[in-house]
Amino acid sequence: MNQTERTEARAAIIGLLEAIRRPDSTSTISDDDGLVDSGLIDSLAMLEIVAFLESEFGLSFRDTGVDPARLASVNSILDLIADSRS
């Protein structure tokens, strides 16, 4: 994934996170912070992230399952997308 694609993917992920963030969360979305650990989202929001990645980026978790560590931060999600395209 080139830098332009990564930037566009990041914008899409941030947009999703803004939409599904916990209403009581005052955390800003940082690329390296743990999304659940920081209180930005709860564990159920992970299902929304998985569905988004499948529909938006064509990822499939059917064979590999969902590894929560790969969905822990914006950067880890971007790395997952990049790995799926290589």
* Closest to 36 in 3D by CA, of 74, 8, 5: 74
Domain range annotation of the chain: 3-84
Q: What pTM was estimated for this model as a whole?
A: 0.91
Q: What distances in angstroms separate CA 43 from CA 38, 46, 83, 86, one per listed residue?
A: 12, 5, 23, 28
Which overall architecture, per CATH, does domain 3-84 show? Orthogonal Bundle (1.10)
What does the pLDDT look like over 15-65, one tens digit per residue? Answer: 999 999 988 887 788 999 999 988 899 888 999 999 999 999 999 999 889
